[in-house]
Each structure stands twice: as structure tokens, then as C-alpha cells.
Amino acid sequence: MHSHPRHKIEYTLRREVNELYATVTLKHIAFSMITIFEPIYLYIYFHERILPVLFYFGLIFLGFALIVPFAGKMLSRMGIKHSILISVFFAIIYFLGLNSLGTNHWMLYVLPLVSIFYKFYFWPAFHLDFARFSQRDRRARQVSIVNMISLATGILGPLAGGLVIAFWGYHALFIIVVLLLFTSIIPLFLSQEVYAPFDFSLKRFFQFIATPSLRRTEIALAAWGNEELISTLVWPIFMYLLIFDTSVIGGITSAATVVAFLSAYWIGRLADKVGKKKILRIGASLLSLAWVVKSIVRLPLHIGFADGFYKLSQEGAYISFASVIYDQASKDESQTVSVVLMREIILNFAKFAGVLVIGALVTLTGSLIPAFIDAAVSSLFFMFL
């Protein structure tokens, strides 16, 4: 094992971290091709019924929220790189399983568990790594750079994924994604483990998240989880109901991602200069407005403009929000792991609760529009942070 004191080497220049993020970048390329189409694929699989889709993802959110407290012990013994390596293998198994659903329906009962373990090994490790090794005075810019890498790799992904589905079907897309994921593990073998030992206690963790001073942060995180749920699960299905053509859906998503990419770095710089919370308030207000706009669009061109406005607003809110959370995580190294795990627990419990609310709204109204109003209201609660 290899330890890396944070004062010795610049975060962005450290070989081990760069290779870790090379893996994450390659993983992003794969995921960008499939993420927006996964809920659509399951919606079609369930004969265009949204409630089973909500139930499926709800199980994943609840399961992850329940086991994520144990990620602290796992990371202290295993290390960040080994954890991310294992997560990639779970992702590969997951997409192979989705690919076989048509003939192996029993996989439907296994796949939520596989997805839970992917999240368990990936997200706490990823956020812990960034919280420990990024720099407080440049954190918004560093969040924006990491986000730009994700966005850059995701610009062509949705369009490419949509075209693959349109010409060759979902099976071809799943195979391409799996091959890219296999490629993503190569950088992890080029350096030693990114390992920074820490002491973690479940008892202290639960005492920490019960601290009254964290209530505003927890409310903001819950709002973020609910908004993210609607963005990643409900919005793709809504687009499919209006457009049907996966290549057009992918093209709209790619075009909107270009807007986010062009704005991300400057939003990060501005947040470091004028204050993260000020930019967060502006971004959250615009994000709420973007959801109202999304609720009234119907034509592909209008959907494209609405999604571009949404992605721009999302960057303003997300970069500042994530930077503040990372600031809290790095303020006291004894609490870094607790903040990271608290983030994942609240986000996923909020998503599970959101699934129940959206399911009730869809059942009562027969429409997805109330979910967008829900997201608009949730966006305003970001300002509690």
C-alpha cells in the first residue's frame, strides 16, 4: 500500500490520482452512451408502464442507502483504487444482465443488487478521493474541471448511443458499453494504490449525522437527491413519450451537454471569486425556472432549448453545491468519511422517497408533469446549504 500526504504533491499532477481519473473518464464515456437510455429501455421492457420502472430504481436507491454506512470500513481496509476496480466489474455484470433481460427474466431480481454493489464500491471511493486531495481555495474550479471531463466525454455519448440503438438496437449498445468498461480498468494497473488510512467508527458516524448544525445541509442534500432523480429517470421517459426516436433524444442531450461544458469552467472560476453560495443561489433559482420551462415544452426544438437552459442552470447549482460539500468534508479530516457517506445516504433515501411521491402523483394524475413541478420546488431548497 502507498500513502500520499496531501501537502506533498499537487492534486492534479499526482500520477496515481491522474490514472484513477483516467479510469473514471473512460467509465464516463461508456456511461454517457447508456445513462439516458437505461430508464427508456426498462420502460419498454415493462410494456411502457412507469410504475415498475420506479419500483425497480427505488429498490436500488433504498438498498444503497442502507448499506453505504459500511463503505467507511471497506475503504479504510481496501483502498480507493481497489474499490473503484471492483465497481467497474459490477458495472460490467450489470449491463450484461440488462442485455439478457429479454431471454432471462429472472435477472430482473438480481440486477438491482448488482447495481447497489456498483454504487457501494464506486461513489464513496470517488468522493472520498476528491475530498481528501483537492485544494480548498481552488475547489470550485477543480470540481468544474472534473465535471468538464465528465461533460467532454459525454458530449458525443448520448448521440452515439441513440444512433446505435436506432440502427442496431439496445443489444449492440450494451456490448459497446461493456467493452469500454473493460478498457477503463487498464489505467488502474499502471500505478500503486491511492491509499490514505483513516479511522472510521459507525457509532461516531451516526452521532455525526444527528448533529443539529447539519440540518440545513441535510435538507439541501435531500432536495438535490429528489431533483436528480427526476432529471435522470423521469425526464428521459418524458422525452421518449414525445419524440420516440432515440437518435433525436441522444442528439438533444448531446447538444445540451455542449452548453454545460462551455459554461462549467467559468462558473467554477466565478464561484471561487465571488462566493460559492452566491452562485448556488443564482443557479438554484434558474434551475427551478428551467423545470417550469420543461413542463410546458412539447416539440423537439423546444425540448432542446429547454434542456440546454437546464444544463446551464444545473452547472451553476451543481458546481457550487458540490464545492461546499467538499469544503465541509475536508474541513476536519476526522469527519471527511462521515460527510461523504452522509451525502450518499441522504441523496439515496431522498431518491427512494421521491420514487414513492412520483409514483403517487403519476397514479393520481396520469401525467409526468407534476414531477417537474416537484423538481422545480426541490431546486429552491438547494439554497438551504
Note whether residue 335 is domain-resident.
yes
Task: List, in order, residues 6 or more apart from 207 with CB less than 8 Å away.
Answer: none
Q: Which pLDDT score is estimated for 142?
A: 57
**Closest CA relative to residue 310, chosen from 376, 242, 222:** 376
Please check whether residue 6 lies inside any domain of the structure: no
Rounded CA separation 355/359 (Å)? 6
pLDDT of residue 197: 60
For residues 115 and 64, give the distance between their C-alpha atoms in angstroms, rounded to a whole number: 9
Name the residue range of residue 376's domain: 11-384
CB proximity list for 79: less than 8 A, separation 6 or greater: 1, 193, 194, 195
Predicted local confidence at residue 242, as pLDDT: 94
CATH value at residue 139: 1.20.1250.20
Residue 302 is assigned to a structural domain of this protein: yes
Residue 279 confidence (pLDDT): 87
In the numeric block, which cell numbers belong to residue 160?
A: 452515439
Q: 239, 254 in Cβ contact below 8 A?
A: no
Domain assignment of residue 357, yes or no: yes
| One-letter identity of residue 223 | A
**Measured between alpha carbons, how far is 34 from 250 in angstroms, rounded to an integer?**
10
- pLDDT for position 311: 92
Q: Nearest 5 degrees, angle CA 200-CA 20-CA 99?
A: 100
| Residues 368 and 239 sit within 8 Å (Cβ to Cβ) | no
Do 32 and 157 form a contact (C-beta atoms < 8 A)? Answer: yes
C-alpha pair distances (Å), 337 with each of 12, 84, 247, 332, 342: 21, 16, 41, 10, 8
In a domain, 2, yes or no: no
Q: Does residue 4 form part of some domain? A: no
- Which pLDDT score is estimated for 7? 33
Q: For the chain, how many structural domains are there in total?
A: 1
pLDDT per 10-residue tile (average), the chain, 385 residues = 36 54 83 96 96 98 93 78 90 96 93 96 79 55 64 85 96 96 85 61 81 90 96 97 94 90 77 81 95 95 94 86 74 72 92 98 96 97 90
Cα angle 136-223-292, degrees, rounded to a multiple of 5: 115
Is residue 3 a part of any domain in this protein?
no
Residue 221 lies in a domain: yes
pLDDT of residue 146: 66
Joined together, the cell numbers standing for residue 297 give: 415544452
pTM of the complete model beyond 0.85: yes
Sequence-ordered alpha helix ranges (H) in 71-156:
71-78, 80-99, 111-133, 139-154
